[in-house]
Amino acid sequence: MTDHICSAIEAAVESAINKVVQDFQHDANRVWNERDIHWLLFHYLQLEKSCPQEYPAQLIRSEFPTLKVFKGEHQGRGHYDLVVLDSKSLLNPAVSDSKTQLPLQSFIESVKIKAAVEIKLWSTRCKTEDMAKRIEWDVKKLTEKPHNVEFAYFINLVQLPYKDPYIKFYHDLFEYLQNIKHENLRILFAPVDHRFEMDEEN
């Protein structure tokens, strides 16, 4: 795979994410849980024409482990919902040689991640502190060093109507996400109810 093709992965991921959001906002009832969104994103990623035939089978992985090992409440290694791996690092003889079986730590240190995606489906209200914990864990996985992620995406889909008793939750979530600032982390807030977006513009 050439440098040109590798650089196209960023555009491919963003195009696939946009299609997932469009599907979600067109008919949110088709989505039952976050796993449904994972498969939908995988589906659109493998259809991207900017990548070669081996792109879907070899580069897209789900539940891929983080390079960082976390301590505290989330003891151990985390996992990304979906990643697109860098083809060059996979072609490294130390990684690609089928005769050698690298330990997990060595494998993760050798493979670069072009794009990592974390997905949150907000289908029920929760307290502000619980919302913060759920968000902070995904942000940690995507941003805390050491990591080997080039492009990080944090997608938030809100499956709630924009009316009482959910209006305050909409605003609290939107404000919390707006205040998160990390280099190379792209945060998407996608409500199923477009009235919230219109309200934010006024």
* 178 backbone dihedrals φ, ψ, rounded to 5°: -65, -30
Locate the domains of the chain by residue range. Answer: 3-201
What is the rounded CA–CA span in Å between residue 152 and residue 142?
6
Per-residue pLDDT, 134: 96
Per-residue pLDDT, 90: 80
Which of the residues in the chain have pLDDT under 50?
A: 1-6, 53, 198-202
Q: Are 81 and 34 in contact (CB under 8 A)?
A: yes
Per-residue pLDDT, 93: 66
pLDDT of 35-47, one tens digit each?
999 999 999 998 8
CA distances to 4, 12, 17, 57, 62 from 47, in Å:
18, 9, 12, 12, 17
pLDDT of 45-79, one tens digit each?
988 865 554 555 578 999 999 999 998 777 889 99
Edge-to-edge strands of the sheet including 113-122? 60-70, 76-85, 113-122, 149-158, 185-191
What is the rounded CA–CA span in Å between residue 8 and residue 51?
7
